[in-house]
Structure 1
Amino acid sequence: MELAPQSAQSHPDLCVSFDDWTRGRKIVSIGSNAGAERLPFQGWHHFKEAFAPEVIARAVNESRREVTSCLDPFGGSGTTALACQFLGIAPSTVEVNPYLADLIEAKLCSYDSDDLALDLHRVVTAVNSRRRGSLARFKHLPVTFIEAPGQERWIFNRNVAERIACHLDAIDELARPTHRRLFKAMLGGMLISVSNVLINGKGRRYRGNWQEREIPPRSVDQLFEERTRQAITEIHAHRMRRYRGYQVLRGSCLEQLSNSNRADLSVFSPPYPNSFDYTDVYNVELWMLGYLGDRDANRDLRMSTLCSHVQIKRQFSPAPKGSRRLTVALGRLARLKGELWSPWIPDMVGGYFHDMKEVIGALRERLNEQGEIWAVVGDSRYAGIRIQVANILADLAEPMGFEVVKVEPFRSMRASAQQGGQQELDETLLVLRKVGR
């Protein structure tokens, strides 16, 4: 969705700036918000992998050309787009996950806080008037989602699922689509906390003693109301952003970047080639909120993501030429294929860099002259073989018309349990500048 640009306010001194939003907090690393004060809007949904918005401000300040527009091909939690609004920059973002795309747009959208409060009152009143919601709206869900006779495991107790259904029914009755989107996003952000599972590692796991866990149905109501009231407070306090327009494109960045607005800068963090299925992490929200209607829809969504994992069988594109580092790593992986926990890992790694080269090429077409890419990327390791992601991407980008401005490691990540779990994998800031014509 694209709104008409709204940049300079009639009273710019009344605008909420980036510094007002971040409050001069101290960050441990640009690659993570961990260890730093949580900012408004960050509590709407927990994102372990979200990078700090301070990297966008740094990119704008250090860019060779003046930045008036910015593009993020991997929208995620909306960090880049939201930071751009506070910086007075026109944001464009692409997100393949429909739940995350709605969450991003809910953060970027302009609202009347009084109207939001009235609609929240309508939802709360409707929910309180109903003892339980119909589980018929969840009939398409996999059988493990909701408690039923004869099941050994389930994600939601039946009474909790009925309260969630009540909220969804009430939200669906609201007249304004922007309010429905926001309230669904707030409900999605609390689903795991009222479930029998946790998101951990590379997927979800059941809580300890989950069978004995009591979740009073009214706690669902209270949590939703508290979270939504807090969101409305944040929206009201930060409504006068320096730029209030935006563009959110839904779908794969490999398909949607050609539809994005041109930009002076691109700041993003792509999935890492670490066999982490980022779509599956949001499986609960996607199913419960109705973004997925059946298993085919689930598979289609997972197949449309970047090649960064092997959990779903797919046809991986061949590895690109142009990086000796990549060729050597893939050769070593091929020789040790029998020692890998999945025989598809070499193909996945090659497919990952094929996809990332396509993304970089598409970004070059959308960037203005001297426009820059600021990418937060992470290495991976399989059978002791390190995949140097930033350096490989730099190798691939130079022949495509980019100057490598910097390759700046800033944090050491913990390797997977299969690799010993040591702090030995770099997270790196890669900066590329478009050159030539």
Structure 2
Amino acid sequence: MTIAEFDPHVRFEDWTRTRVPAVIGTNSGSEPLAFQNWRRFKEAFVPELVERAVRETGEALGRPVINCLDPCAGSGTTPLACQFLGVEPIAIEVNPFLADLIEAKLSVVDAAVVARRCSEVIGTQLHVDPNEHYALAPATFVEPGVADRYLFPRDVAERLANLVLAVEQVPEVKVKRLLRVLLGSAALEVCNATVSGKGRRYRQNWKEQMRTVDELDQAFVQAVEGAVFDIARYARRRNLSYDLRRGDARLEIANIPEIDLAVFSPPYPNSFDYTDVYNIELWSLGYLKGGKDNVELRNSTLRSHVQIKRDFASDGLSLAVRTSVSKLRAVDGLWNKNIPDMIGAYFADLAILLRGVREKLVAEGRVYMVVGDSRYAGVDVPVAEAIAEMAPSLRYELIGSEPFRSMRVSPQQGGRAELAETLIVLAAV
């Protein structure tokens, strides 16, 4: 082997070869990869999609891809995969917990320092009143909760608050960030609810199987040990730099540099606010201090839900969108009267996002975008079709539209796998 052939970096294949994705579109049913098991994202797309996008875009450009944007970074799959592929990642994430989780994955820290700080945090004993510490959190957060339903027993909530404050005393910024997000993982392990892609529900027989303070400590230590192993094993990625922007993607995208590629999946127009999925981490770790913070965060997300009162004004909608909105307006008894307007606003926001991406794309640069259809009262909202209609007016050429999987409709509609999830590929023209 010559010097030129020697590559000391961990390759993308070294990271992903440990498992074969059960579904090419998402992580659902697949074995978790390193970094992905810090906080399980069942619906996140697999990193192989990023590899494909980088390869195909490089072929279209006639040169290697230099950088790649994910404006809805979520679990951090795109920027992390880019580091393994030697591509400069640019990410935008509005959720502060997810932004910290992404940055913790992208950063390299000293394992010895992490272990020492973790030990110090575990050994810190502070006298914290959990009801005072979480006074502005939802009323069901700490025992006794509401109607005897609560997420954390009082002693576990007290220990959790103790650990949160102890982590805040860690002097190294990267280590503090890592410990904070891993503490969020531990909090999920011991709370009285389980979290899925659409919110949370109380565990079966949770009152008879209440988690303990010792279990919280153990879950935290185990999460740290696993993360340190991942960081150490994959520290020599081909590119360790990154550009992470925190805030509303509709606004932040104007501040990014020129890009070759964008790979992302926006929230789907299913009336559900994805912020709810992360409420336990957001409140328990102190990202949200009160109701105002919560409303501000929700208002900074795409208008894909009706869980708060918002301005749903929109214009310039495509034929497919106008047709769906018109059909929805004709439905009697929608569970929320704002759903038709929300659908229009959702596509208006997608247009803002795609227009912003187009302004930053080089000629022949590409967008790989995973989207999902929705259905309300039997009325389909064909997202992929609508984006294909929007593309020319946004100065894109539709390169391809291919199915990834079928999503299940709501249990009220039988729970059948009928809603399409689609990969849209666009090229800048």
Interval containing the TM-score (normalised by the shorter chain):
over 0.9
Over 3 Å counting, the alpha-carbon distance change for 1:189 and 1:71 in structure 2 is: same
Aligned to 2:359: 365
Q: Which residue number corresponds to residue 7 of structure 1?
A: none
Matched residue type, 1:328: T
- CA displacement at 1:29 relative to structure 2: 2.2
| Separation in 2, partners of 1:177, 1:31 | 35
Give the superposition deviation at 1:124.
2.7
Query: Residue 359 of structure 2 aligns to which amino acid in structure 1?
Result: E
Partner residue in 2 for 1:161: 157
Corresponding residue of 2:119:
121
Q: Which residue of 2 aligns with 1:34?
A: 28
Aligned-partner Cα distance in 2 for 1:174–1:218: 22
In structure 1, the residue matched to 2:188 is 192
Q: Is the partner of 1:183 in helix, strand or coil?
A: helix
Query: SS in structure 2 opposite 1:287?
Result: helix
Distance change in 2, residues 1:330/1:188 (3 Å) = same
**Aligned-partner Cα distance in 1 for 2:44–2:199:** 17
Matched, 1:332 2:327: yes
2:311 paired with 1:315? yes
What pairs up with 1:116-265 in 2 under 5 angstroms? 116-126=114-124, 130=125, 133-135=128-130, 136-148=132-144, 152-200=148-196, 202-265=198-261
Aligned residue for 2:29, secondary structure, equals coil
Q: Which amino acid aligns with 1:339?
A: G
2:403 to 398, 409, 413: 409
CA distance in 2, matches of 1:387, 1:316: 17
| Contact 1:381–1:387, Cα closer than 8 Å, also in 2 | yes
Q: Distance in 2 between matches of 1:24 and 1:233?
A: 15
1:103-156 Cα shifts (integer Å, max 9, x gaps): 000000121222222222222333xxx386442432322221111488522110
Residues 268, 376 of structure 1: 8 Å contact kept: yes
Q: Is 2:170–2:176's contact at 8 Å kept on the other side of the alignment?
A: yes
Verify the 8 A CA contact 2:19 2:31 in the aligned structure 1.
Answer: yes
Aligned length: 422
Instruction: Read off the aligned partner of 1:430 and give its amino acid letter.
Output: I
Q: Is the 8 A contact 1:381 1:419 kept in 2?
A: no
Query: Per the alignment, do residues 298 and 11 of structure 1 end up closer, same or farther by CA in structure 2, a change over 3 Å counting?
Result: farther
- Residues in 1 aligned to 2:426 and 2:240: alpha-carbon distance in whole angstroms: 28
Q: Please tell me whether the aligned partners of residues 133 and 164 of structure 1 are also in contact (alpha carbons under 8 angstroms).
A: no
Q: Could you give the per-residue CA deviations for residues 283-311 of structure 1, whole angstroms, max 9, x where no partner exists?
A: 11111111111101111111111011111
TM-score, length basis structure 2: 0.94
Whether the 8 Å contact between 1:116 and 1:179 is mirrored in structure 2 is: yes
Correspondence for 1:271 among 267, 274, 279: 267
Name the SS of the counterpart of 1:190 in structure 2. Answer: helix
Deviates more, 1:133-142 or 1:203-212: 133-142
- Say whether the 8 Å CA contact 2:86–2:239 is kept in structure 1: yes
Unaligned runs of 5+ in 1: 1-9
SS in structure 1 at match of 2:245:
strand
Aligned to 2:300: 304
Q: In structure 1, what is the equivalent of residue 280 of structure 2? A: 284
For residues 335-384 of structure 1, give each alpha carbon's deviation from its aligned partner in whole angstroms, at most 9, with x where no partner exists: 11x23221111101000000000000000011111110000110111121
- Aligned-pair distance for 1:47? 1.3
In the aligned structure 1, how far is the partner of 2:144 from the partner of 2:389?
Answer: 54
Q: Name the residue aligned to 1:74.
A: 72
Query: What is residue 345 of structure 2 aligned with on the other side?
Result: 351
C-alpha separation between the residues in 1 aligned to 2:174 and 2:96?
15
| Shift, 1:201, TM fit | 6.0
Q: Aligned partners of 2:229 and 2:37: how far apart in 1? A: 12
Query: Matches of residues 78-89 of structure 1 in structure 2 within 5 Å?
Result: 78-89=76-87
**Deviation by residue 1:230-279 (Cα, 9 ceiling, x = unmatched):** 10011000001100000111111001001123210000000001112101
Q: Is the 8 A contact 1:45 1:190 kept in 2?
A: no
Instruction: Work out the percentage of aligned pairs sharing the same amino acid.
Output: 46
What is the alpha-carbon distance in structure 2 between the residues aligned to residue 30 and residue 300 of structure 1?
35
Asked whether 1:15 is paired with 2:9, we answer yes
Aligned to 1:382: 376
CA distance in 1, matches of 2:301, 2:351: 15
Please state whether the residue corresponding to 1:212 is helix, strand or coil. Answer: coil
Whole-Å separation in 2 of the counterparts to 1:94 and 1:151: 39
Give the AA of the match of 2:79.
A
| CA apart distance, 1:218 | 0.9
Q: CA deviation at 1:62?
A: 1.2
Deviation at 1:11?
9.9
State the 1:52 CA deviation: 0.6
